[in-house]
Structures are given as C-alpha cells and as structure tokens.
Amino acid sequence: MSISVDKVENIFDIIEENQSIEEIGKTIFPKTKDKIPFVETIPWEEPYSEAGQDKRLKYLKNIRKTNMDYISGEKKFDEHEQLKGNIENFIGMAQIPVGIAGPLLINGTQANGDFFIPMATTEGALVASYNRGMKACREAGGISAVCLTEGVQRSPFFKFKNIVEVGFFAQWLVTKLDTFKEICSKSSRFAKLRELRTNAEGNSLIITLEYSTGDASGQNMVTISTNLICEYILKNSPVKPQDWLIESNYSGDKKATAISFSNVRGKKVTAEVVLSRNIIENVLKTTPEGMVGCWRVSTLGAIQSGAIGAQGHVANGLTALFIACGQDVACISESAVGITRMELTKNNELYVSLTLPSLIVGTVGGGTALPTQKECLNILDCYGVGKARKFAEICTSVALAGEISIAAAISAGHFVDAHKKLGR
Amino acid sequence: MSISVDKVENIFDIIEENQSIEEIGKTIFPKTKDKIPFVETIPWEEPYSEAGQDKRLKYLKNIRKTNMDYISGEKKFDEHEQLKGNIENFIGMAQIPVGIAGPLLINGTQANGDFFIPMATTEGALVASYNRGMKACREAGGISAVCLTEGVQRSPFFKFKNIVEVGFFAQWLVTKLDTFKEICSKSSRFAKLRELRTNAEGNSLIITLEYSTGDASGQNMVTISTNLICEYILKNSPVKPQDWLIESNYSGDKKATAISFSNVRGKKVTAEVVLSRNIIENVLKTTPEGMVGCWRVSTLGAIQSGAIGAQGHVANGLTALFIACGQDVACISESAVGITRMELTKNNELYVSLTLPSLIVGTVGGGTALPTQKECLNILDCYGVGKARKFAEICTSVALAGEISIAAAISAGHFVDAHKKLGR
Amino acid sequence: MSISVDKVENIFDIIEENQSIEEIGKTIFPKTKDKIPFVETIPWEEPYSEAGQDKRLKYLKNIRKTNMDYISGEKKFDEHEQLKGNIENFIGMAQIPVGIAGPLLINGTQANGDFFIPMATTEGALVASYNRGMKACREAGGISAVCLTEGVQRSPFFKFKNIVEVGFFAQWLVTKLDTFKEICSKSSRFAKLRELRTNAEGNSLIITLEYSTGDASGQNMVTISTNLICEYILKNSPVKPQDWLIESNYSGDKKATAISFSNVRGKKVTAEVVLSRNIIENVLKTTPEGMVGCWRVSTLGAIQSGAIGAQGHVANGLTALFIACGQDVACISESAVGITRMELTKNNELYVSLTLPSLIVGTVGGGTALPTQKECLNILDCYGVGKARKFAEICTSVALAGEISIAAAISAGHFVDAHKKLGR
Amino acid sequence: MSISVDKVENIFDIIEENQSIEEIGKTIFPKTKDKIPFVETIPWEEPYSEAGQDKRLKYLKNIRKTNMDYISGEKKFDEHEQLKGNIENFIGMAQIPVGIAGPLLINGTQANGDFFIPMATTEGALVASYNRGMKACREAGGISAVCLTEGVQRSPFFKFKNIVEVGFFAQWLVTKLDTFKEICSKSSRFAKLRELRTNAEGNSLIITLEYSTGDASGQNMVTISTNLICEYILKNSPVKPQDWLIESNYSGDKKATAISFSNVRGKKVTAEVVLSRNIIENVLKTTPEGMVGCWRVSTLGAIQSGAIGAQGHVANGLTALFIACGQDVACISESAVGITRMELTKNNELYVSLTLPSLIVGTVGGGTALPTQKECLNILDCYGVGKARKFAEICTSVALAGEISIAAAISAGHFVDAHKKLGR
C-alpha cells in the first residue's frame, strides 16, 4: 500500500505548459551569473605554506565578501554556549585541514555560477585530484545539476496479534492521514509529511513516514514528528499493538541500503557534463575511449564486489565537503551511494553523469552554525534558509568532478603517481 | 583460484598447544590493567561551558599524562610544512567539537583497560548516548574485543584477447608469487603481500592482491606496491594484455560491499559483552527482553531495507572517532558495515556482540600526526607504531556501546527525548 | 517522482467502516469450509509403488471430483495444436514425478479449507518434509494467508540529449496518464495500468509501468501494453528521445532484486501460523526455543551470505508447485525471495510468518491449460479465472510449511537423517 | 581465517610449462570434433505438429544414436521402484513440453562440438529465441566455454560461551583438517573436502566446508559428510559448544547470495563469443552498437534494481535445461546469477561473455536417471560419470546464446513481436 499525501514539489513542476525546450532550459537553469574569472595567479603553487594560505584567503575573502577568521585561525572559538545541541562533554576542537578547489562551474537549478569548494581532509592528493576534475568540467561549460526530489523517512514498527489486526490497523491509518499531517505541521515549522507507506510482514507492520524538511537535513525533526504521530496512534487506534518502536531500522538512517538508493533519502540529485576530446587530452591527459573503458571495468568491478550502486570514490569528495560544512558526516554511509555513467556521444565526446539518490544535507541546523562550518558554507553562499537544494547540487557536482578525475587518472596510469607525490 | 601466500597472523595463533581454556583466556586477554577509577566528580554536568571544558581537560591530562594544547585551543597550528601529504591548496582548519565519553572498559587482545574516548561530532546527544552505553558495559565488566584478521586489497584488472590467454596468464601469475612478495617488500617497510586471488570473467581477469599494512590504514602503500607488481607483470608476462588498470573497483575502497563484509578489508574485529538484567534496568532503563525484541525488529528492518550487514548506527560512533583521530573518514562507507547480535543467555541476561569486518584504521600515516589528531590518539594511547590493532579494538568497542545505547533508547521509548533535549 | 494512477485494490479494502475486529476477521477470512477429514488410511506408506499411486489417485479423484488421466499416464498427450504459445520445435514431454502432500489447512482470504498439494520434483525427502510441516500447521488450526497487493512491471528506457529534456519529457508523461491507461485497456481485457514511476539518471529516464494482470502471471500482456504506450510516446512526445528500449532490466523480471523484494512484483502474500509447544514436540520432534534459535542463526547466516531477504528453502516448495501447476518456473528467481520470521509468543508458543513479495503466478495463460498442469491446478481448485490470488495464498502457505519443517529438522538434528533415508 | 586444504583442480592446471599460447589453446580447447552439418531441412517449420515432432525425433535419433521413447510418449513410465530417492507419495508424472534448439557449437574444455539442446518450458518464444542466439554463435565459430573451478559448501554453526572459546575451538579445528578429509573420503566415493573456512561473529562460529562432488550436484553428499565431521567435532573438541546446527544458512543453498556470486558454488563457468557485424545484421537484425547500448542500459538497470550480478534472462534457458535434464530446479535461485558483458572489439565486432559462478549441476544422482531426463542428457552426451563439467559448459553456452538473442531483440525492437507471435 502506498498513499501519496501530496507530491514532493519537484523541480520539473516549474515548467509551464506550452513552453519550448529552450524556454524550459532557461527556466530550469537560469542564466548562469557572471563567472568568477579564473585567476591563474591564485597561488595554488604554494600549496602548504603560510604565505600561500594567506594569499588564498585574501583572494577568497575578496571574491566572496565573507569572513574566514575562524578557518584561518585568527579568531579562537570561545562561544561555548553555542555548542548546545552539537556536543556533550566538550573538551575542544578537532582541527581538520581545509583545502580549496575550484572554481567549479555549475549550471544548476539553484546552484548557478562558479564556486570555490572548501574540502576538509587529511588525505593528500584528494583536493588536487578534485581540482583537476573541476577544471576539466569548467572548460566544458560547467556541470548541469538538478535536485530531482527529496524526502526523509522515519519508519516506526507496530506488532499486533495477527494479520487480521494488521489489516484493520492499516485500513484505519489511511483515514488518518490529514490528522497526521496536521500533527506534523504543529511539531515543526519545516517538516512536512509527504507520504505514508506501509509494509506488512505477518503480524507486524512497518510504517514509513516520508517528510520534506525544509533546509535542514532533518533527522531530528522527523523523529519528533513521528513520535507525536505514534502517540496519537497509540491513543486512538481501534486496535492496540502488542508492541511498537519509533524506528524499525528500515528508514536507512546512517547506512547504505538498496531502498534508499532506488527511491530517495534526503535529496536525490543528478548531474551531467559533456567533455570534448580536446579537454580530455589536454586537462586529463587521457582519451574519451580510455575513460569509457575504465568506467566499464569499474562498473563491472562494483557489481562483482556486491556494492550498492556503482561509482568510483564519491565518498572522498562528499566527506571532505561534509566535514568542512557542518553536515552529519556519519550520513556519508548513505550519501555516498550512487551511480556514475560515462559513454561516448555520437561525436565521440565523453558524456558523464552522476546520480546521488540519498544525499543527506542541510544548510540550517546540525553543525551549520558553528564558526568554521558557517564560514565554509558562506564560501559557497549556502548558509541558512533556502540553500539546501543549492548545496545538494554543489555536492553532487563536486562528486562528479571527482569521478571524472579518478577515471582519468586510472585510465592514464597516473593514479599511482599522484598518490606517490601527494600522499603519505 | 585462491593462493594463500602465507596466513595473516591471527590472534588465535598465540594460543599454545595444550593450554587450558583458562590459560588461553589469559593469553588472549591479558589481565586488565588497573582500571582508571571512575571519578563521579568529573564534571560531565557542565557539558558545554568553558569551565566544564577546563575541568575535563585537566582531569584527562592528569590521567593520561599527555598534552592537549591544540584541542584546547591554547596552541595555534602553524607548522605548515607538516601539511605536506595531507592537503593541497590549504586555507585553514575546520574545527569540529570534540566531546569525551567513557571510561570504556575493554578486555581486548591489545586494548586493555579503561579508555576515555574523544568523539568529534556536531550531532547533539551522540556523545551522551555512547557514554551511557559505555557506562553499562563497564559495570558489566567490560567489552571483550579481538582483532581477528586483517588485509587491505588492491584489485588490478587485465584484459586479454580471449579466455585461453586469461588461463595462460593466470597460470603464469601463480608461479611468480615469491617475486611479487619480494617486489612488495622492497616497496615498503610495512606492506606485506599476503594473498593473491584471481577472478576470471570472459577474457578479463581481476587480480586481488591482499596485504597487511603494519599500523597504517595502508591504501597508499598497497597502491604503490601493486603498481610495481603490475609493472613487473607487464614487462615479463609471456602473454601481453590488451588493456590493464591499476584498480578494477573490486577492492571495495570507499564503499560498502558484500565481499568486504563477508571477507575482510582493513581489520576484522569482533566484540562482545554480557549485560545483567540489573544493569539494563538501572543504567539503560529497559529490560533484556525489550532489547532483544528491538534487535529482532532492527535486524529484520535492515534486511527489508536491502542493507549490507545489519546494525543500528555504527556509523555515528566510528565517524566521531575517525574525525578526532586522523583517520580517512571517507572509509566510513565500508568501516561502518557490520553485524550486531543481541540474545538472551540461559540466565536471561543480555548477550551483545558486534563484528566489523572492514574497519579501515591506522595509527601511523594519514592524518594521525596532525596536532589535534595526535592528541586524540594519545588520549587512547594509540599513537604510532604497534597500535593499529589496539585502536581497531577500541573502535569496535565504542561502536558496540553505541549499539547497546540506541537499542535501549528505542526499546524504552527514550530515543526521541534524547534528541529533543540534546539535539537541534 | 511517483504518480499513483489508482490504488491496487487491496484485501484490506473489503473492510467496512465500524466493523469490529471479530467481524473483520470473518470478512477477511470467511469461515473455513468443512475440512477434508484427514484420512490416516490414505496409503502414504507405499510411497513409490504403483498400488500406492493408484490408491492415492483414487482417493484424490473421489475428494476433488476431478480427472487425473494425464498425470496418471492413462491418457497420452496428443493435442499438438494446443502447444502453440507454449513451445517451439516440440519433440515430446519431459516427465517429472509428482508427489502429493497435505492436506494443508489454509484460512486465507481466497484459499480456504484443506488442500492437497501436488509437488513435482526429483529431490527425495522434499515432499515428505513439506508434508510434515503441513501436518503441524493443520493441527495448529491452519495457516492464515493474505494476498496483500499485486503489480507486474515493465520498465522501458528513454535517453535524451540532456537533463533538461528529461525533465520536459517527464513533465509531459504525467499529463498523459489517462491516455496510457486507455491504451492499456484496449490492449488487453485483463491488464490494468496502475501506476507510473519515473527514475531519472542523467540524460536518461527509466519509466516503470506497474499493472495488475487479472489471473495471468502477466508478463506478456504488460509487454504488449507497454509497447503500445511506448509507440504512443514516440509518436506524440514533444521531445524526441535519442534512444529507447522496451525494457531497461529494471523491472526485476527473472531475477532476485532488492526492489522487487521491498515493493511488489506479481503478488505480495503474507502468511502466519502459531504452533503450540505440544505440536512442536509431537509432530516436529523439537522445541519452540530450538526453532527460534535455528531461525536466528539462519537469519544471520542469510545476512552474512549477502542474500536478498532471509528465508530457508522457499525455492524448494515453490519450484515443485510451479512445475506441477504450469507456472513460469524461471520466475523462481524472484518468487523465492522472501522473509521468514519465528518468535516465541508470550505463552511460549511459536509464531511463524512468511512473506513473499514477488510471487509471479497465474491460473490462466502460460502453461496452465496443458493437460497435467490443468489437472494439478484442479486438485487445488485453482484452474482458470478468479483463482490467481487463491493460488498465491496456497503457494505461500506451502512454502511456510516448508520453512517450519526444515527449521525443525535442523534444530532437532534430523536434517541429515531425512536426506540419508529419502535422498540420493 | 582461510585454510586451503588442497586446491580444486583447475582447468588451467592442464597447461604444461613452456607451452606456447597456441599449444595451450589446443590443450584447453581440443580440436572441435566434426560439426554436425546444419541441416536446413530439419523441419523447424512445423513447430507443434505431430508430424514435425516425428521428423525431429527421427533426425535426432539418427544423429545421436540414442532412444527417445519416453520423451516421445511411446513408452509409458512404469518402473515405480526407480522413484525411490526422487519422490514420496507419488501420484504420477507432470509433463512439460520439450523443444529442441540448436545446434549450438561449443569449443569447451569438455563440451566440444555441435549440440542440440532440449529445453522444457511452457513459455512460448523461449526455444525460438535461444535457437536464434545459437545460430548466430554457430556462424561465429562457436562459443568458448571453460569450467573454471568448483565447490559445494555446507556451513555448520557452533556457538560457545564467549570469544575466547571460539578462538580455542578455531585453533583446534585447523589441526584436524586431515582427519576431516579422511572422514569425508570414507563417507562418499565422490565427495572430496577441499577447504575449510571459519567466520567468527562474537561467541559463534560458522565453518564453511567446501567440497568437490564428482559428477553429482552433491548437496546430499556434502550434508552427510559434514554431519560426520560435526559428530567428530562434538565428540572430540576440547571445548564443548553450547549449541550447534548442521547448516547456518550461510552456504547459499537455494538462494541468490553475494558470496556465491563472488566465490563459487557448484561450478564456476565462463564463456565467450565474438560476433561479426555481418552475423549481427543478418541473423540478429541489429547492429553491434545497438547491442552494446542495450547491454549498458541493461547493466545499469540491474544495478538500479538492486540485483546480484547483472544479466538479462539467464534463468529462462537454465530452467528449461534443468527441467529437461533432471537437475535440482530449485537451484535456479543461485544458478541463474551471473554477469553478462558485451563490448565492441577494435574491429567493431561484438565481444560477448557470460560468467556463471554458482551453477549447481550434476550428471549422476538427483533426477538424472529418470527416463525422460536420461534421454535428454543423452541427447547432449552428458549422462553419467565424467560429464558434469561438460554439462556445465553447455548450460553456460546456452545461457550466453540467450543473452545475445534477448539483447538483439530488445535493441532491434523485436522483443514484443516475438512474444505477440509465439507467446500467450
């Protein structure tokens, strides 16, 4: 049984009837704002030195008109009360090095223009590798990215005496959808209950409540709303469950699962780019054919390894972004599951797409308001309300650039050199 | 075809013949060192305030005789040259709040005694929840943990004209094992080639080279060694491949895969604890039966969601430890896959185990030598050579404590309260 | 994006408002017809002899008032023209031995009463094992079984120039749903288009068309309808695909997939029974605790093996029924995926359920009208229109009886003996 | 821990040192015997009529010098005592129509020459579709097929008090390998214990015993041997398990699992063929590029559906062969899992391979000696001792022909027409 409460608003809904493809293209991907000029003089060449750091900070501050006093270490964290809701038994701050990559040119529905990408990692070569992928994509005119849909789930569990009671209960549930939506809307300004699905197994029933969560990653708000709905159920259901639990471990929280991959969890984003032979040869030092061959091997390797989805190293880029930008890093488990595709176009250019169906991100709540996190989000103009889909499109575009770079490195035989030179 | 080069030394190998179970118990789990007295006065009660932070730091410094000048923010990072191998295009440090949980009492083969656990996270309630699980486990006499085996893989790909050539090639490979081991030993002091497996699919062959990597997580060293071995192969093979790649995406690097879960990737660790009814009622506010019921639902929920393995929220604890301790956080993708089991003993106590077969950790290399990372590893006495298995046992024990705490919270209906009170 | 066209009628829909649980129980599970008296004299004791065969045939003919001239070998197949639609290049008939098990008492929504089950197999001990499980279930008052929902999918693929075109196309598709339903209804009396789902990945889109298929297993009718719909799309879509295929291999046809397991493919049926300690000890020669222990091990074993779902040997019973009853036996791939659960009730009885979410069965079309197949369906009163859900409930109940029997045999240590005695 | 007892003899072992590739090719694939001339006059054109049947039977009898009295219906089954070990409560014979496809030309290590393939099915178009694929492969010079390795597993379960006891037990097990091998060799002439693997999870241990089973599919013989080994363990182990079970559901018996797919279960066979553009255009009515495109979509579709492996409809052909040839049809669950690959060669021909790693087949025991089953095996010259690997190579080649045919049909848009014309 699947009952659509109301449809998650979808990017494609903004299309008006009778628009031409050209008009739609412009509607979906508004004219990319003036690109930040790619300043070759930005001193990437002093990758670790303090002088290099200062020059990069200055450059970024100038372009983005934002402070970076905490990242730079100028200011020391001392607003302890701000930590409430983020940590207990606080003893201090773990410091993770942040490198900057980009600019990454994105033609998204929300993310539009050139972006410098802050990546927090301790893995040498990672920033350099992503940077190279971004360069190739920018020369190709940028990555198109669309946040297709969204939904965060909680899946409470109810056990009854037998199947008959399950049926009776399920039938009753359906009649209460409006009530549940109302309960949800009272529990949070942002959470909206979108859909209720039931999954019967013998005398037990898993209910999946799927919410949109505004610009928060939303796991807490859906938990609180679901709890209130369950309280209502327990009080009002004409048939009393023998047992119930707020979560059946079916929602896919903090783990890679096939259902989150095939449906949605958080945001589902797809992104694409077409790279000319010229770019691939000059920037990536390989050929379209070499990259397609590498992709085929990599996809079959993923299948043979029993992976969920098939991609290269999405986890690398996402994790670096998540740490820098105050995301729930444990959600890398589900967020880094996706599918990369590379194929030759009829003109023998390289078409590349990446789809991430379970990207858990937010631009409010969680760790987003902490000092360095907020600064990193500001570099992306992604702090606060109205920015979550934009951030999701950036995340996916970054990961796509990384997929291109690693496939190029492996197909060209440069994979090892990079790690020898830049890793430890 | 599977050719065991030589067996990964296994913890069970230290058992001598004719030892009694009691003696073996002592051999495997050496007498736990004097426990750190559980000081009730350690001021957990000021969870965010600077005063609370200072008291906790003082307490920890006193117990562990180690500096925490960088975590505390007293010292500012300025050794930029140290960043080489960790980052490019450095712009500064992302700061993630660290909370301390514990003490966690572990009776491991390497990890032995009481440990305070530094956890870097922005998710409220996480540290408190793990802390509660640790308290229950400590009262129960501690968690037994064993690092069972280890192995890090690279899986190069070779394509030939047809199956016949694959067969010829595979046959030749086998005869060159000693050569490959020698190449490996020259490429790194730490990497040891343990096993070579082949996986034929039509005219192509994936070779899996499985290494032990000393105390490093080891992805770079196995890449470098594998590359040298491939160079040897390309130069010397009596049949020339049409195509080859250093990695076929079969090794499971940075992703959850069924084969890493069913074999090993990094370290395979198993841990267990028995909780009395008394502890469960007093510390965890629920019953053994309630927790077993929750586990059953949770395990079936995982199956129904199409997860790999079945566990609750291992990713939460591991990610917090990984960020604090300079691990490759992107490896959460594979490291957080595992299997939790809860069942009643004949005395109606609760038996709990957690097995993590693909835990990618290291105590040298990667981000371990960076300032706050080194400090956090020092809190655990896990910095440097000879500590990786110990750290792996701690990681798994922490995750086990978290599995207990979440199952208790869900079964007792406290899951929501904690997130309401401590989350955001 | 998910657009519910209209809801698959669900068994629970027959519940009327304000009915009590008791009334609902009677509505869902109409009073079980008079049970066939379990005649102990039916000569199971001559399991292979011709005399035994004759007695069993006579007994069955008498009870079911149906012919068994082809199964018995009295009549020889000679209506060759009937084979059209079932085979090409016909050379004769493969003969698979059929054993009879039961009676199996089912309290289903459609299957109601005692059933003798024809099982075609060459695996010794299989019929005997299932028979034992059926005996235990019958003594327990029978198996409750409900066909929860149904749906057969085709998943055509469309590729466009880029994501923008995909969005435009998807948006257009939604407006054409009524048209598609009409096309479907003209293509077949039985197929009804229920739901259309889209799954975008870069510049390509998989459309899932989910149908109900009356009493046919339905793969052919959904293919034909989908083809007509695709033809309409190709002719009328305002944006022309670069490429399209009638099936993207996403529908789960003839393979075990996570999405068929978590949604539905064919019929989704759940069944349950409660076995008293007495029955378990007397009929199954083990204990409820032993069986629950075996189930727990078996479920964890399935997880560790990387299975989809978790069950024991559903494939055995289903395959034997499918061969006997003219089903598409290749669909065992998906049909035998499910989830078995065993747990102690508060009275320490054994609760057992089995849920099969992707059971592909039909009682019209396919091989159902062939001579022995029709006879076997007639034994079950499942030949022809209006019987598919009934047959699905029987299939699941048979499989449930088998799950009970194997868990009992393994927990009691009889598993080997049975195979020694009855196998080869 | 993995202890190789001794290596499963491998086809590649027959290669002698210093042989050239050409010599090896001849060693592995002995010169294909004289092909059966492809007689265009064999009356495929009367696909259902009795006259057509008679002509085909006559043709086959003449070529294969074998009886087909039971398939043809001339003789009626009456040797009831022969049924012992195959069925209980026998009531008669289910009759499944058998069509003949081929000839299929195979250049295997054991299967060598032209084969006519008996397929038992009720699904119209199936035989015709496979036949077409075989025709294309034959014109291309035949399919190369190699049975790479083999192994049938039983996975008993042992539970102990704690991890220490597990370690002690595992250590002891290793020392008893020769004893176990001896026990095995006494239990069966055919079963050979090859390998013992252990899989610890907390206080429990799954042992995987991997056997070769001669020419039987072997599930019964490995059960019996494993039981004897377990009895020895229970009697002699210095540490007594609290609980044990003969099977932990880890062996993959009767289900699709990731570990059987990535290792081996039964036979692992790989097969390949190269089809020229000419053949694809003339026989398959499509293009190499169209088929590669279809394969890519199909592979991504499989990934997105959460399948194990990625193939088209292997289950169809295998099931038809299994029913005809007395195999354990329930094993389609694992046998039909595999990986199909299609790619363009440098000459723009189509390379196709299929690998089936868990093909459970036998040519002795099971249903192989029953009348029609034996006749069908005889058509393939695969009845009895020394034929199992040959039969496995045939099975995989048949499935490969089917993969080609369906991809051609889908890419050419003929998929629907075939089902309309030949299905029901």
Task: Flag the least confident range among A111-115, B355-359, D311-315, D412-416.
Answer: D412-416
D276 Cβ under 8 Å from any chain B Cβ: no
Across-strand partners of A3?
A196
* pLDDT of C395 strictly over 70: yes
Crossing angle (nearest 10°) for helices A126-139 and A388-412: 100
Mean pLDDT of A280-296: 97
Are C201 and A353 within 8 A, CB to CB? yes
pLDDT given for residue D30 in this prediction: 58
Residue D29 distance to chain C (closest CA, Å): 30
The mean predicted confidence, pLDDT, of chain D is 90
Are B94 and A98 within 8 A, CB to CB? yes
Residue B29 distance to chain D (closest CA, Å): 8
A258 Cβ under 8 Å from any chain C Cβ: yes
For residue B417, give both structure tokens.
């309260």
Out of A78, A308, A413, name the one closest to residue B256 (CB): A308
Residue of C192, A256, A176, C311 whose CA lies nearest to D257? C311
Are C10 and A29 within 8 A, CB to CB? no
Q: What percent of chain A has pLDDT over 90?
A: 80
Conformation bin of residue C153: beta by default, left when phi > 0, alpha when psi is -120 to 50:
beta
Pairing of strands D112-120, D90-108: antiparallel
* pLDDT of A405 strictly over 60: yes
Question: Can you tell me the distance from the alpha carbon of A213 to that of D346, in angstroms, rounded to the nearest whole number?
Answer: 51
A289 Cβ under 8 Å from any chain D Cβ: no
Contacts of D194 (CB under 8 A, 6+ apart): D4, D5, D6, D7, D8, D151, D210, D211, D212
pLDDT given for residue B14 in this prediction: 54
Cβ-based burial of A195 (10 A; exposed 0-12, middle 13-18, buried ≥19):
buried
Contact D415, D136 (CB under 8 A): no
Report the C-alpha dihedral over residues D120, D126, D127, D131, rounded to 10 degrees: -140
pLDDT given for residue A423 in this prediction: 66
Please, where are the H alpha helices in D217-351?
Answer: 219-236, 258-262, 277-282, 288-304, 314-324, 332-335
* pLDDT of D367 strictly over 50: yes
Residue C168 distance to chain D (closest CA, Å): 21
Out of B10, B25, B202, name the one closest to residue D164 (CB): B25
Contact B332, B254 (CB under 8 A): no
pLDDT given for residue A419 in this prediction: 65
For residue B151, give both structure tokens.
């192995």
Look at chain A and count its residues: 424
The residue of D39, D77, D89 whose CB has the most chain C CBs within 10 angstroms, and thus the best one to mutate to test that interface, is D89
pLDDT given for residue D21 in this prediction: 67
Mean pLDDT of C97-125: 94
Closest residue of chain C to B296, computed from CA coordinates: C296
Task: Write out the catalytic residue numbers of D.
Answer: 123, 328, 419
Are C262 and B302 within 8 A, CB to CB? no
D345 Cβ under 8 Å from any chain A Cβ: no
Question: Can you tell me the distance from the alpha carbon of D261 to that of C305, in angstroms, rounded to the nearest whole number?
Answer: 10
Closest residue of chain A to D346, computed from CA coordinates: A289
Q: In CATH terms, is domain B23-28+42-73+98-149+266-422 a member of 3.90.770.10? A: yes
The residue of D60, D88, D121, D204 whose CB has the most chain C CBs within 10 angstroms, and thus the best one to mutate to test that interface, is D88
D172 Cβ under 8 Å from any chain B Cβ: no
Helix (H) or strand (E) holding B272: strand B266-275
Tens of pLDDT along D121-161?
999 999 999 999 999 999 999 999 999 999 999 999 999 99
Closest residue of chain A to B87, computed from CA coordinates: A124
Extents of the domains making up chain C: 23-28+42-73+98-149+266-422, 156-245
Are A343 and D305 within 8 A, CB to CB? no
D142 Cβ under 8 Å from any chain C Cβ: no
Q: From the CA atom positions of chain C, what is the Rg in Å?
A: 23
Contact B51, A390 (CB under 8 A): no
Tens of pLDDT along D91-123?
999 999 999 999 999 999 999 999 999 999 999
Helix (H) or strand (E) holding D92: strand D90-108
* Active-site entry in B69, B289, B343, B419: B419
Are D203 and B239 within 8 A, CB to CB? no
CA D256 to mean position of chain CA atoms: 14
Neighbours of chain C (3+ CB pairs under 8 A): A, B, D
For residue C26, give both structure tokens.
């009677």
Question: Can you tell me the distance from the alpha carbon of D157 to that of D152, in angstroms, rounded to the nearest whole number?
Answer: 17
Across-strand partners of C112?
C107
Residue of D197, D76, D113 whose CA lies nearest to D393? D113
Residue B389 distance to chain A (closest CA, Å): 20
C202 Cβ under 8 Å from any chain A Cβ: yes
pLDDT given for residue D86 in this prediction: 95
* pLDDT of C234 strictly over 60: yes
Global confidence as pTM:
0.94
Crossing angle (nearest 10°) for helices A371-379 and A314-324: 120
Question: Can you tell me the distance from the alpha carbon of B27 to that of B11, in angstroms, rounded to the nearest whole number?
Answer: 10
pLDDT given for residue C90 in this prediction: 94
Pairing of strands D192-201, C192-201: unpaired
| pLDDT band with cut points at 50, 70 and 90 for residue C48 | confident
Q: Which residues 70-109 of D are in CB contact (within 8 Å) with B?
A: none
Helix (H) or strand (E) holding D119: strand D112-120
pLDDT given for residue B31 in this prediction: 52
- Residues of chain A with Cβ-Cβ distance to C24 below 8 Å are 164, 167-168
Out of B21, B171, B258, name the one closest to residue D168 (CB): B21
pLDDT given for residue B44 in this prediction: 65
C261 Cβ under 8 Å from any chain B Cβ: yes
- What ipTM was assigned to the predicted interfaces of this complex? 0.94
pLDDT given for residue C70 in this prediction: 96
pLDDT given for residue B53 in this prediction: 93
* Active-site entry in C139, C289, C381, C419: C419
B259 Cβ under 8 Å from any chain D Cβ: yes
Beta strands in C298-348 (DSSP E): 339-344
Residue C308 distance to chain B (closest CA, Å): 7
Are D4 and B7 within 8 A, CB to CB? no
Out of B3, B24, B162, name the one closest to residue D164 (CB): B24
Tens of pLDDT along A142-184?
999 999 999 999 999 999 999 999 988 998 998 899 999 999 9
Tens of pLDDT along A308-350?
999 999 999 999 999 999 999 999 999 999 999 999 999 999 9
Max alpha carbon distance in chain C (Å)? 73
pLDDT given for residue C10 in this prediction: 52
A vs C: CB pairs below 8 A: 133
Helix, strand, coil % over all residues of chain A, rounded to 5: 40, 25, 35
Neighbours of chain D (3+ CB pairs under 8 A): A, B, C
Question: Can you tell me the distance from the alpha carbon of A415 to that of C119, in angstroms, rounded to the nearest whole number?
Answer: 57
Max alpha carbon distance in chain A (Å)? 73
Residue type, C279: I
Are C313 and D299 within 8 A, CB to CB? no
A261 Cβ under 8 Å from any chain D Cβ: yes
Residue of C95, C326, C84 whose CA lies nearest to D71? C95
Task: Write out the catalytic residue numbers of A.
Answer: 123, 328, 419
Residue B201 DSSP SS3: strand
Q: Which residue has the higher pLDDT, A2 or D353?
A: D353
- Residues of chain B with Cβ-Cβ distance to C299 below 8 Å are 299-300, 303
For residue C106, give both structure tokens.
């089912």
Cα atoms found within 13 Å of the Cα of residue B168, Cβ hemisphere only: 25
The residue of B289, B294, B303, B345 whose CB has the most chain C CBs within 10 angstroms, and thus the best one to mutate to test that interface, is B303
Crossing angle (nearest 10°) for helices D371-379 and D314-324: 120
Out of D296, D339, D343, name the one closest to residue A304 (CB): D339
Sign of CA pseudo-dihedral B100, B105, B109, B110: positive
Beta strands in C49-183 (DSSP E): 90-108, 112-120, 143-154, 157-159
Please, where are the H alpha helices in A49-152?
Answer: 50-64, 126-139
- Residues of chain C with Cβ-Cβ distance to B299 below 8 Å are 299-300, 303
* pLDDT of A96 strictly over 80: yes
pLDDT given for residue A65 in this prediction: 87
Q: Please state, in angstroms and as integers, the Cα–Cα distance from residue B45 to each residue in A88, B52, B401, following that order.
A: 9, 8, 21
Question: Can you tell me the distance from the alpha carbon of C320 to that of C394, in angstroms, rounded to the nearest whole number?
Answer: 13
For residue B355, give both structure tokens.
């097995």
Tens of pLDDT along D273-290?
999 999 999 999 999 999
First to last CA, chain A: 53
Helix, strand, coil % over all residues of chain C, rounded to 5: 40, 25, 35
Residue A76 distance to chain D (closest CA, Å): 45
Closest residue of chain D to C369, computed from CA coordinates: D122
D385 Cβ under 8 Å from any chain C Cβ: no
Question: Can you tell me the distance from the alpha carbon of B421 to that of B64, in angstroms, rounded to the nearest whole number?
Answer: 31
Question: Can you tell me the distance from the alpha carbon of C333 to that of C252, in angstroms, rounded to the nearest whole number?
Answer: 9
Buried b (16+ CB within 10 A) or exposed e, D342-376: bbeeeeebbbbbbbbbbbbbbbbbbbbbbbbbbbb
Q: How many CB atoms lie within 10 A of CB C27?
A: 18
pLDDT given for residue B7 in this prediction: 38
Contact C28, A164 (CB under 8 A): yes
- Residues of chain B with Cβ-Cβ distance to D202 below 8 Å are 270-272, 341, 351, 353-355
Where chain B has pLDDT below 70, the residues are 1-19, 21, 24-45, 415-420, 423-424
Max alpha carbon distance in chain B (Å)? 73
pLDDT given for residue D320 in this prediction: 98
Q: Which fold has domain B156-245?
A: Alpha-Beta Plaits (3.30.70)
Are D155 and C301 within 8 A, CB to CB? yes
Beta strands in C70-142 (DSSP E): 90-108, 112-120
B341 Cβ under 8 Å from any chain C Cβ: yes
* pLDDT of D7 strictly over 50: no
The three-point CA angle C82-C83-C84 to 5° equals: 95
Residue of D340, C160, B381 whose CA lies nearest to A299? D340
Contact B190, B215 (CB under 8 A): yes
pLDDT given for residue D1 in this prediction: 32
Question: Can you tell me the distance from the alpha carbon of B165 to that of B183, in angstroms, rounded to the nearest whole number?
Answer: 24
Are A294 and B245 within 8 A, CB to CB? yes
Neighbours of chain B (3+ CB pairs under 8 A): A, C, D
The three-point CA angle B271-B274-B275 to 5° equals: 130
Residue D419 distance to chain C (closest CA, Å): 7
Are D303 and A305 within 8 A, CB to CB? no
